[in-house]
């Protein structure tokens, strides 16, 4: 029941907000609702740890002739991602208060609608329901970017939408094909889809279709070209939602759907997938060095990080998978922090061109500190969340192939290069006329970062609870495919 | 009844096909919208005739009942079609389909 | 014991947090207490630890809590307190405290006073984490932590672009080494199933010398050490790091951080002893670096740069010692080096302070009389580093030289050549700064003053340590008892201990030299160094040479050395520039023109097709009807015949 509440609650709030009138009330209501949602998720965590996951399962028939049922549930991995979602949305909403978006009713309605769709994706245990929520998440994201975004947003958002949608269509075809192969009577139920009997050739095609859809979403090189433009043009809340949570849908899909459904094809094509992901890592990191647009640089850094996570998932190594889950959560938090800072700079200095910035540390020391902390977490300094994930991922990849780990390890060097250089060019040095005007973070503005910083250090120093929550399911998954 | 059944069905078939083809040719060639509508009516009526003939030939009243349905629908369709033509004439003062080609790219 | 460890770590960390959060509100007077105060507490606690060592046995690993646990992977937050870490504790907190004290005077009036001490405390905390770590990952926390702090402190005066670049360079070069360290750790885990020191070293007992996994592990870990301790080829960050305030150079680059690499190799001696190949690599890298850096130091004109290259060179000696099996010797030299190098840096800071910021030794001279305390302490440091008995540097350097002779006389000759160069360039520095006539401006001459007490007292303390520090480990031939060697003996179980008669077949010294040979070697070295000191006197004091303005013509050899063998330029051309152009090229060439073109091409193809096809919608009703009828006929025909 709780699981369904997690989905229906934001939907209801979203509808209410869409028709709201009083701007102030809308903002507060949206924030309160998102915090409540987080409380629900935390309650689900408690239930999960105290009793068994079956308590979180909800099932009811929907389109019976096709075997589609509304089946929602949470295991450790979904729970962590749902927690990430419900944790980040209040932070994003809180941050958006300072930005004064026009038509706040629609805006917050869209954000909560996205949250609902995301939770739906992470908790769906029925193939068609998964697909429906997958597509649903795309729609509000499109509107958020198109209505509140920066220059040239229509064309770029359109490209993002069509590109992602095309990938998902392949996934739909694969799902339908799988349905035909499930034991009679056909069903889209998760357990049935896993039990579908596929010939090796069929497995390869189904794998390819799923992989394409997820690879576009994540994104994995070379399907990434929609991403830098979209992240740069989206409003801060939009890029935080997209980079912080939505791309995790793709990674989650790989773990939840590709691994159990097409394990043989996955193992067979793993070297290619890992090579592709690591190529993207190096490629994106190198490009990030010369980027002049702050948000594009962060976007490329995101491609690099998720490339490492993807590579880790494909090793099918226990440590790498745990690292992948932790890194998903860490990356969500860190990238949200980075985009928050970038949004602040863009708003106060009026530009996000790094060549036009400089000396901000002098004018805005609080911002400089916060920025440095998030940056260090992003480049995986030990005792931050980024390090735990990266260490486990590289360890797992190393066990699979030391050569791949050496290439993956280049992110250690390259991320330091582009991040520190970016920080230096924006924060150090002398101020110029553009940056002279910038005021520092107010205490309230600083307070928005506190939850993120807390999580950075919590996951970095005491990751035990997170590792445990995911660990059981990862072991189950691995034993399932052996 | 017997007088009708002495005419072989093939005669009806050929006759109605001819009528139908005249109607089709009229639809394709004529430029006047009203004449095209009339040709469409011609096609419909040829089918009506054929249906009635077959219903007698097969001794099944269903055909003739179906003719009534078709007549009703044809009447409705003609009413709507003629109303559209009248409105078009009012705005553009022409019912030549070569002139009425504004619904394009 | 766990409580003491936590307290030792906690005080500097608390100092960092307090000073960091209140950096705008706390008055400098209070910071002057908090900053050095926390380090003093940690030092006193370290002394307590030392005392307890003489009463109890070695204490086992102290376990704080589980950090990362996934099935067989168990990495707790654990600490190891043994003689080696105890020694490092004392050096780090002791010298660190003295430097903090000095900084109170040096950084007085700087707007970033509080921020400075916050960073310094964080640095001490990271370094303590490094030396107290009970497994490689906890050590790595400190490893990267000190890298971060050196970045923050080198670029402390962040308004200057050059300084920020130097800080960035340091961090990135460190990270290159860190990648090697990480890969080494992964291989460690795959081989031994754990990263804890006790498990790994116990497991190492069961392996054969020359085991390929161990060779790979030790080489990879050494890559990390090369980055952290500025050995060739990852050495270029250290001279540039002189951009930071001088106390920072003293602490990070002389006394503590760069010695992390030495500590790590010493800690992993069980692994390195299993791999003669790695030992050779370590030793040779160290020796080559020592010579390389010493040769460059001869031609440097910036007082801090001379000391920086000197540091690289001395670190090279430490690694040469490690490679030759002189683990105790290397740690001994690490300790004495901490004393005299910190002393030299702080003395240089005193000189710079007196001259109002001047760092070029061509503009100094004759400062003996005006800065007496600085002069005497600096002299002590110079004598120590040159290896003149009875100062500490003589004993520590000699131990390393002895081990090198045992490995191969050729190595000894090279090392002595380096020692000669060391004596030469250090005394060159001394003569040019403190002797002859003053070459600065009138204004500077009138303002020459000795530094305040808070700066000279640390100098005196360090000078005393540099002078008498040798008693830590006086070898047998001087009737000493090799106290340090005995103290560290449990940490280096496979090494033959000086002064003992245990002949271990796996010992690193195949044929210990006789006393006569030892005396001969020592005398030869000493004579050579004294000769160099005299030659330097002749050239720089008597003949008054050695001052060349920038841009003056130099013979090629001199130019090669003064431009640091053009290594920086080499890296710039071969690595940095190509990387930047690659970045631009990948973006403009591949991303925009190739991949994106493909994607947008699909879109354009669809729109183009649509554009072409839309002309079918000619609006011609007659045409529509014709096509409709044709289609129906086609369908009928197909139905009948197919």
- pLDDT tens readout for residues C166-209: 999 999 999 999 999 999 999 999 999 889 998 898 888 888 88
The structural domains of chain C, with segments of one domain joined by +, span 1-274, 284-500+509-550, 566-641
Which residues of C, range 142-171, sit inside 8 Å of A by Cβ? Answer: 143-145, 148, 151, 155, 158-161, 164-165, 168, 171
Query: Which of A383-387, A434-438, B92-96 has the weakest average pLDDT?
Result: A434-438
Chain A touched by C140 (CB under 8 Å): yes
What is the tens place of the pLDDT at every residue in A200-211? 888 899 999 999
**C contacts of B102 (beta carbons < 8 Å):** 619
In terms of CA atoms, which chain C residue is nearest residue A326?
A: C68
Chain C touched by B97 (CB under 8 Å): yes
This complex has an ipTM of: 0.91
In this complex, do A467 and C70 lie within 8 Å of one another by their Cβ atoms?
yes
Which residues of A, range 371-390, sit inside 8 Å of C by Cβ? Answer: 376, 381-383, 388
Contact C562, C300 (CB under 8 A): yes
User: Which residue range(s) make up the domain with B23?
Assistant: 4-92
In terms of CA atoms, which chain B residue is nearest residue C613?
A: B105
Instruction: Point out the residue among B24, B100, B105 whose CB comes nearest to the CB of C621.
Output: B100
Q: Is the pLDDT of residue A373 over 90?
A: yes
- CB atoms inside a 10 Å sphere around CB A439: 10
Mean pLDDT of chain A, nearest integer: 91
Which pLDDT belongs to residue A335? 96
Q: Which of C443, C445, C294, C305 is nearest to C361 (CA)?
A: C305
Q: How many whole angstroms separate alpha carbon C581 and alpha carbon C586?
A: 8
Q: How many whole angstroms separate alpha carbon B40 and alpha carbon B79?
A: 13
Q: Is the pLDDT of residue A184 over 50?
A: yes
In terms of CA atoms, which chain C residue is nearest residue A424?
A: C164
Decide if B104 is inside a domain: no
The mean pLDDT value for A118-127 works out to 93
**B contacts of C626 (beta carbons < 8 Å):** 28
Q: Which chains touch C (3 or more CB pairs under 8 A)?
A: A, B
Which pLDDT belongs to residue C167? 92
Q: pLDDT band at residue C80, thresholds of 50, 70 and 90?
A: confident
The mean pLDDT value for C90-110 works out to 91
In this complex, do C182 and A382 lie within 8 Å of one another by their Cβ atoms?
no
In terms of CA atoms, which chain B residue is nearest residue C610?
A: B105
Decide if B48 is inside a domain: yes
- CB atoms inside a 10 Å sphere around CB A403: 11
Hey, which residues does C63 pair with through a beta bridge?
A: C78
Radius of gyration of chain A (CA): 21
Q: What is the H or E stretch that residue C77 is in?
A: strand C73-79
Which pLDDT belongs to residue C514? 75
**C contacts of B105 (beta carbons < 8 Å):** 614-615, 617-618
**C contacts of A365 (beta carbons < 8 Å):** 24
- Quote the number of domains for chain B: 1
Q: Is the pLDDT of residue C509 over 60?
A: no
Task: Give me the long-range contacts of C47-53 (CB less than 8 A, separation at least 24).
Answer: C47/C90, C48/C4, C49/C1, C49/C4, C49/C8, C49/C81, C49/C86, C49/C89, C50/C86, C50/C90, C52/C1, C53/C83, C53/C86, C53/C487
Decide if B53 is inside a domain: yes
Instruction: Point out the residue among C614, C619, C622 whose CB comes nearest to the CB of B103.
Output: C619
Which pLDDT belongs to residue A392? 95
Q: Using the Cα atoms of residue B32, residue B38, residue B39 and residue B41 in order, give the sign of their dihedral.
A: positive
Q: Which residues of C566-592 are buried (b: 16+ CB within 10 A; e: fewer)?
A: eebeebeeeeeeeeeebbeebbeeebe
Q: Which of C384, C413, C76 is nearest to C254 (CA)?
A: C384
Q: pLDDT band at residue B35, thresholds of 50, 70 and 90?
A: very high
In this complex, do C141 and A383 lie within 8 Å of one another by their Cβ atoms?
yes
Which residues of C, range 572-601, sit inside 8 Å of A by Cβ? Answer: 579-580, 582-584, 586-587, 590-591, 595-596, 599-600
The mean pLDDT value for C365-382 works out to 87
In terms of CA atoms, which chain C residue is nearest residue A475?
A: C71
Which pLDDT belongs to residue B38? 95
Q: What is the H or E stretch that residue C526 is in?
A: helix C515-536
A429: left (phi over 0), alpha (psi -120 to 50) or beta: left
Between these two residues, B86 and C52, which has the higher pLDDT value? B86
Instruction: Point out the residue among C66, C71, C168 whose CB comes nearest to the CB of A420.
Output: C168
Chain C touched by B84 (CB under 8 Å): no
Which pLDDT belongs to residue C500? 35
pTM: 0.88
Chain C touched by B25 (CB under 8 Å): no
Hey, which residues does A61 pair with through a beta bridge?
A: A69
Instruction: Point out the residue among A163, A409, A413 whose CB comes nearest to the CB of C183.
Output: A409
- CB atoms inside a 10 Å sphere around CB C303: 26
Q: How many whole angstroms separate alpha carbon A313 and alpha carbon A319?
A: 10
Q: pLDDT band at residue C456, thresholds of 50, 70 and 90?
A: confident
Substitution target from A290, A385, A477 for chain C, most C beta carbons within 10 A: A290
Which pLDDT belongs to residue C57? 59
Query: Which of A65-74, A161-170, B22-31 has the weakest average pLDDT?
Result: A65-74
Decide if B11 is inside a domain: yes
Q: Is the pLDDT of residue B65 over 90?
A: yes
Decide if B98 is inside a domain: no
Task: State the smallest CA–CA distance between residue C597 and chain B in angstroms.
Answer: 28
Q: Is the pLDDT of residue C508 over 50?
A: no
Helix, strand, coil percentages for chain A (3-state, nearest 5) = 80, 5, 15
Decide if B99 is inside a domain: no
Q: pLDDT band at residue C217, thresholds of 50, 70 and 90?
A: very high
Give the CATH number for residue B59: 1.10.287.3510
Q: How many whole angstroms separate alpha carbon B36 and alpha carbon B26?
A: 6
In this complex, do B102 and C622 lie within 8 Å of one another by their Cβ atoms?
no
Mean pLDDT of chain C, nearest integer: 85
Q: pLDDT band at residue A81, thresholds of 50, 70 and 90?
A: very high
Q: Which of C398, C388, C380 is nearest to C462 (CA)?
A: C380
Task: State the smallest CA–CA distance between residue C182 and chain A in angstroms.
Answer: 8
Assess whether chains A and B touch, using the rule of 3 or more C-beta pairs within 8 angstroms. Answer: no
The mean pLDDT value for C260-286 works out to 91
Substitution target from A221, A297, A388, A412 for chain C, most C beta carbons within 10 A: A412
Query: Which of A46-55, A297-306, C105-114, C530-539 has the weakest average pLDDT?
Result: A46-55
Task: State the smallest CA–CA distance between residue C601 and chain B in angstroms.
Answer: 23
Chain C touched by B22 (CB under 8 Å): no
Q: How many residues does chain B have?
A: 105
Q: pLDDT band at residue A196, thresholds of 50, 70 and 90?
A: confident
Give C17's Cβ-side CA count (13 Å radius).
6
Instruction: Point out the residue among A376, A392, A394 whose CB comes nearest to the CB of C148.
Output: A376
Instruction: Point out the residue among B28, B31, B104 whose CB comes nearest to the CB of C626.
Output: B28
Which residues of C, range 32-71, sit inside 8 Å of A by Cβ? Answer: 65-71
Instruction: Point out the residue among B24, B98, B100 whose CB comes nearest to the CB of C629.
Output: B24
The mean pLDDT value for C78-82 works out to 87
Instruction: Point out the residue among C617, C626, C629 whose CB comes nearest to the CB of B104.
Output: C617
Backbone φ and ψ for B97, nearest 5 degrees, come out as -70, -20
Q: Which chains touch B (3 or more CB pairs under 8 A)?
A: C
Task: State the smallest CA–CA distance between residue C602 and chain A in angstroms.
Answer: 10
The pLDDT > 90 percentage for chain C reads: 35
Contact A168, A194 (CB under 8 A): no
Contact A224, C586 (CB under 8 A): no
In this complex, do A322 and C172 lie within 8 Å of one another by their Cβ atoms?
no
Hey, which residues does C68 pair with through a beta bridge?
A: C75
Q: pLDDT band at residue C503, thresholds of 50, 70 and 90?
A: very low
In this complex, do C622 and B28 lie within 8 Å of one another by their Cβ atoms?
yes
Task: State the smallest CA–CA distance between residue B6 and chain C in angstroms.
Answer: 31
Q: pLDDT band at residue C502, thresholds of 50, 70 and 90?
A: very low
In this complex, do B28 and C629 lie within 8 Å of one another by their Cβ atoms?
yes
């Amino acid at each position: 029941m709780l699981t369904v509440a997690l989905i229906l609650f934001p939907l209801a709030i979203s509808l209410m907000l869409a028709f709201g009138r009083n701007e102030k009330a809308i903002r507060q209501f949206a924030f309160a609702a998102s915090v409540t949602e987080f409380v629900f998720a935390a309650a689900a965590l408690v239930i999960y740890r105290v009793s068994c996951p079956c308590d979180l399962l909800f099932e009811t028939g929907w389109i019976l002739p096709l075997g589609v049922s509304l089946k929602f549930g949470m295991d450790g991995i979904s729970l962590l991602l749902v927690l990430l979602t419900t944790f980040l949305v209040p932070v994003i909403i809180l941050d958006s208060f300072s930005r004064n978006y026009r038509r706040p009713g629609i805006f917050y309605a869209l954000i909560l609608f996205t949250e609902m769709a995301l939770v739906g994706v992470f908790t769906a245990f029925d193939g068609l329901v998964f697909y429906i929520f997958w597509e649903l998440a795309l729609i509000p994201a499109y509107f958020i970017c198109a209505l509140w975004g920066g220059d040239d947003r229509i064309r770029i958002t359109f490209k993002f939408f069509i590109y992602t949608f095309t990938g998902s269509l392949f996934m739909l075809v694969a799902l339908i094909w799988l349905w035909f192969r499930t034991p009679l009577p056909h069903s889209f139920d998760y357990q049935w889809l896993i039990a579908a009997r596929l010939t090796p050739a069929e497995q390869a095609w189904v794998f390819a279709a799923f992989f394409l859809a997820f690879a576009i979403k994540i994104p994995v090189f070379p399907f990434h070209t929609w991403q830098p433009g979209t992240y740069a043009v989206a409003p801060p809340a939009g890029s935080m939602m997209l980079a912080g949570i939505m791309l995790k849908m793709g990674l989650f899909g790989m773990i939840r759907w590709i691994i159990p459904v097409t394990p043989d094809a996955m193992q067979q094509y793993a070297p290619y997938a890992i090579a592709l992901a690591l190529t993207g890592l190096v490629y994106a990191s190198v490009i990030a060095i010369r980027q002049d647009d702050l948000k594009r640089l962060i976007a490329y850094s995101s491609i690099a990080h998720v490339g490492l996570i993807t590579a880790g998932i494909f090793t099918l190594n226990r440590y790498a998978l745990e690292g992948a889950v932790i890194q998903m959560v860490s990356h969500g938090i860190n990238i949200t922090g980075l985009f928050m800072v970038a949004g602040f700079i863009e708003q106060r200095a009026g530009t996000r061109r790094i060549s036009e910035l400089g000396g901000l540390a002098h004018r805005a020391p609080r911002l400089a500190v916060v920025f440095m902390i998030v940056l260090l977490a992003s480049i995986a300094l030990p005792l931050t969340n980024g390090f735990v994930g990266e260490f486990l991922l590289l360890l797992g990849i190393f066990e699979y192939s030391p050569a791949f780990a050496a290439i993956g390890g280049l992110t250690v060097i390259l991320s330091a290069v582009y991040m520190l250089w970016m920080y230096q060019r924006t924060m150090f040095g002398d101020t110029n006329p553009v940056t002279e005007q910038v005021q520092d973070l107010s205490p309230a503005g600083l307070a928005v970062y506190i939850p993120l910083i807390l999580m950075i250090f919590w996951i970095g120093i005491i990751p035990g609870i997170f590792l445990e929550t995911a660990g059981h399911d990862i072991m189950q998954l691995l034993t399932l495919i052996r | 009844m017997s007088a009708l059944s002495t005419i072989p069905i093939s005669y009806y078939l050929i006759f109605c096909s001819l009528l139908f083809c005249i109607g089709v040719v009229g639809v394709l060639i004529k430029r006047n919208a009203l004449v095209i509508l009339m040709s469409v009516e011609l096609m419909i009526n040829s089918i009506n005739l054929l249906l009635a003939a077959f219903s007698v030939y097969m001794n099944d009243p269903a055909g003739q009942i179906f003719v009534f349905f078709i007549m009703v629908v044809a009447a409705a369709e003609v009413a709507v079609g003629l109303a559209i033509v009248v409105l078009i004439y009012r705005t553009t003062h022409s019912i030549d389909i070569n002139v009425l080609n504004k619904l394009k790219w | 014991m766990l409580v003491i460890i936590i307290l030792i770590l906690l005080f500097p960390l608390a100092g960092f947090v307090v000073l960091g959060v209140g950096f705008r509100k706390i008055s400098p007077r209070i910071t002057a207490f908090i900053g050095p105060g926390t380090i003093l507490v940690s030092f006193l606690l370290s002394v307590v630890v030392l005392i307890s060592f003489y009463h109890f046995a070695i204490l086992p690993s102290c376990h704080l809590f589980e950090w990362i646990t996934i099935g067989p992977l168990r990495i707790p937050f654990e600490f190891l307190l043994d003689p080696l870490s105890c020694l490092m504790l004392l050096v780090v907190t002791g010298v660190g405290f003295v430097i903090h004290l000095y900084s109170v005077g040096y950084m007085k009036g700087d707007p970033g006073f509080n921020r400075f001490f916050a960073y310094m405390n964080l640095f001490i905390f990271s370094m303590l984490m490094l030396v107290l770590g009970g497994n490689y990952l906890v050590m790595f926390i400190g490893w990267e932590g000190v890298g971060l702090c050196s970045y923050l402190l080198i670029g402390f005066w962040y308004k200057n672009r050059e300084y920020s670049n130097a800080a960035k360079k340091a961090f990135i070069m460190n990270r290159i080494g860190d990648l090697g360290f990480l890969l080494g750790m992964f291989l460690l885990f795959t081989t031994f199933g754990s990263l804890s020191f006790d498990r790994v070293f116990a497991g190492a007992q069961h392996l054969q010398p020359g085991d390929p996994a161990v060779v790979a592990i030790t080489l990879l870990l050494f890559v990390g050490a090369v980055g952290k301790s500025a050995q060739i080829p990852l050495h270029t960050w250290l001279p540039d790091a002189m951009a930071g305030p001088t106390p920072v150079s003293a602490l990070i680059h002389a006394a503590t951080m760069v010695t992390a690499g030495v500590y790590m190799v010493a800690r992993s001696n069980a692994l390195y002893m299993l791999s003669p190949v790695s030992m050779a690599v370590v030793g040779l890298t160290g020796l080559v670096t020592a010579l390389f850096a010493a040769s460059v130091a001869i031609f440097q004109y910036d007082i801090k740069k001379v000391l920086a290259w000197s540091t690289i060179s001395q670190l090279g000696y430490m690694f040469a010692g490690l490679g030759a099996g002189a683990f105790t010797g290397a740690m001994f030299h690490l300790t004495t080096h901490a004393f005299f190098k910190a002393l030299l840096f702080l003395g240089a800071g005193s000189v710079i302070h007196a001259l109002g910021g001047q760092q070029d030794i061509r503009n100094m001279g004759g400062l003996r009389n005006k800065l007496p305390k600085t002069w005497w302490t600096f002299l002590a440091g110079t004598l120590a580093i040159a290896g003149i008995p009875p100062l500490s540097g003589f004993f520590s350097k000699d131990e390393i030289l002895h081990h090198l002779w045992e490995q191969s006389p050729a190595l000894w000759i090279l090392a002595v050549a380096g020692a000669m160069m060391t004596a030469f360039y250090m005394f060159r520095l001394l003569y040019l700064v403190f002797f002859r006539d003053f070459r600065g401006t009138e204004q500077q001459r009138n303002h020459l003053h000795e530094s305040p007490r808070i700066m000279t007292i640390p100098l005196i303390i360090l000078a005393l340590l540099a002078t008498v520090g040798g008693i830590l480990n006086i070898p047998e031939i001087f009737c000493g008892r090799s106290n340090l060697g005995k103290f560290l003996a449990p940490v280096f179980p496979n090494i033959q201990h000086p002064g003992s008669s245990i002949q271990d077949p796996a010992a690193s010294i195949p044929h210990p030299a006789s006393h006569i040979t030892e005396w001969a070697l020592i005398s030869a070295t000493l004579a050579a160094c004294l000769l160099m000191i005299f030659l330097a006197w002749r050239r720089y004091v008597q003949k008054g040479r050695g001052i060349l303005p920038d841009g003056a013509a130099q013979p090629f050899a001199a130019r090669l050395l003064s431009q640091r063998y053009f290594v920086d330029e080499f890296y710039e051309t071969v690595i940095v520039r190509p990387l930047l152009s690659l970045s631009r090229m990948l973006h403009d060439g591949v991303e925009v023109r190739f991949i994106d073109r493909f994607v947008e091409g699909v879109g354009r193809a669809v729109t183009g097709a649509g554009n072409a096809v839309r002309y079918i919608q000619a609006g011609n009703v007659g045409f529509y009807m014709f096509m409709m009828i044709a289609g129906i006929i086609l369908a009928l025909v197909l139905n009948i015949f197919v």
